[in-house]
Structure 1
Amino acid sequence: MIVQRPGRAWPNRLISGSDPVVTLRPLRRTDARAWRAIRKRDLAWFSRWDATMPPGGEQRPSSFGGMVRRLSRAARQGTTYPFALEVDGRFVGQVTVNNIVRGSAQFGSIGYWLAQEHAGRGIVPRAVAMVVDHCFFHAGLHRLEVCIRPENTNSLRVVEKLGITEVGYAPKFLHIDGEWRDHKIFAITKEDVPRGLLARWEEGPVG
């Protein structure tokens, strides 16, 4: 994997693979057209898994520009890394590290989505592995979680392929698709992948 600025947490650009070339770089406002086109075309694909705001919750920005501003502000504060995901130079999704905690925890949580037309090509496992390695070896994090609904078989397959261990179950964990939903919790630490998760993935998927 090529890291544009080794040792720098954010902003940064990560590149891996040859067929296809997977690139992760900061989400920007110019991604608006591609982002909207994918989300509109694949609405049914995403709607079951998208976070929603519970009654009485603080409303998030409704525009793409507002979302990018919110995420960019959080990135400057070091609490979020919002990566745009490109395949062969084309925007196709996102991988975001949320809820970053420093101090004695050095922890974060990874979420991701991908355009349906690119599903099943190993793109998300590669992208997640790239982000995990960046967080461990350049951003100073020690532990990362992935929280997935039990019904989301596509996402469960990602952590299975990467060999990320299931560590718990969280009832009514997140408000998704209009209801509080249970989640399985998967976690990985830096000690689990001393040579990096991407290297382990490239040697051959675990599952």
Structure 2
Amino acid sequence: MIAPRSLTPDVQLRLATLDDDIGLADAYVRSWDHLKEWEPDRADSWFTPAGQRERLTGTLERYKDGRTVPWVLVEGERILGGITLNDLVPGPFRSSSLGYWLAVDRVGRGLMTRAVETVAEIADTELKLHRIEASTRTDNVASQKVLHRTGFTQIGTAPTYLHIAGAWRDHHLFQRVLNDRAPGA
């Protein structure tokens, strides 16, 4: 179990739970006008507690299997965003893919930069990963700044990489090498 971490005196990074269904639905509804430019199209159920509970159920099953680590950023009981390490690969690869989002009223305050840095530290010291990869739409400058500030380097560009906001979009690809330890060390 990964312990919660304080990102600021008021904001905590902690593992997601099924009880986050209402808070996540609320955060997505509050911020969708901002997020929809960067996210895949979502069914109406995505914005409901039932839809988020269904998503969380699958995500937490993958967490139990060691394939995903889902966190939420919270201030008291209010969810401000999420960050996830997906597709954890053991063995000689020791890698994972990073995804994150932040509620519109918290953008531009350095909060996601602190969250990404904290997750990278956990990935290195607790999960013993070697590297983390991430991607952003080529025009998502704010997200690219987060990655650059937290030690990621751009390693390429993938044409028509993901279907986002109704179309196939080009993405920049990034990685952060965490350490040079041998697998298992």
TM-score strictly above 0.5: yes
How much does 1:103 deviate?
A: 1.4
Task: Summarize the alignment of residues 121-200 of structure 1 with structure 2, pairs less than 5 Å apart.
Answer: 121-191=109-179
Task: Give the match for residue 30 of structure 1.
Answer: 19
CA contact (8 A) 1:15 1:21 kept: no
Pair 1:47-2:39 in alignment: no
Q: Which runs of no fewer than 5 residues in structure 1 stay unpaired? A: 1-10, 54-61, 193-207
**Hey, what's the Cα distance between the residues in 2 that align with 1:70 and 1:17?**
27
How much does 1:29 deviate?
A: 2.1
Secondary structure at 2:27 match in 1: helix
Moved over 6 A (4+): none
Task: Summarize the alignment of residues 3-18 of structure 1 with structure 2, pairs less than 5 Å apart.
Answer: 11-18=1-8
Pair 1:85-2:73 in alignment: yes
Cα gap change, 1:29 to 1:184, in 2 (>3 Å):
same
Cα gap change, 1:161 to 1:78, in 2 (>3 Å):
same
Cα gap change, 1:17 to 1:112, in 2 (>3 Å):
closer
Q: Percent identity?
A: 31
How much does 1:137 deviate?
A: 0.6
Secondary structure at 2:179 match in 1: helix
**Hey, what's the Cα distance between the residues in 2 that align with 1:63 and 1:41?**
16
Instruction: Give CA deviations for 1:39-83 in whole Å, capped at 9, x if unaligned.
Output: 112211011111248xxxxxxxx8111101100010111111011
CA contact (8 A) 1:169 1:185 kept: yes
The letter for the 2-side match of 1:26 is L
**Hey, what's the Cα distance between the residues in 2 that align with 1:115 and 1:64?**
16
The letter for the 2-side match of 1:13 is A
TM (norm. structure 2) is: 0.86
Q: Which runs of no fewer than 5 residues in structure 2 stay unpaired? A: 43-49, 181-185
The letter for the 1-side match of 2:3 is R
Secondary structure at 2:129 match in 1: coil
**Hey, what's the Cα distance between the residues in 2 that align with 1:88 and 1:118?**
15
CA contact (8 A) 1:23 1:89 kept: no
How much does 1:99 deviate?
A: 1.4
Tell me the matched-pair count. Answer: 173
Between stretches 29-38 and 178-187, larger displacement belongs to: 29-38
The letter for the 1-side match of 2:56 is V
**Hey, what's the Cα distance between the residues in 1 that align with 2:179 and 2:91?**
18
Of 53, 75, 83 in structure 2, the residue corresponding to residue 65 of structure 1 is 53
CA contact (8 A) 1:22 1:127 kept: no
Between stretches 120-129 and 172-181, larger displacement belongs to: 172-181
How much does 1:88 deviate?
A: 5.4
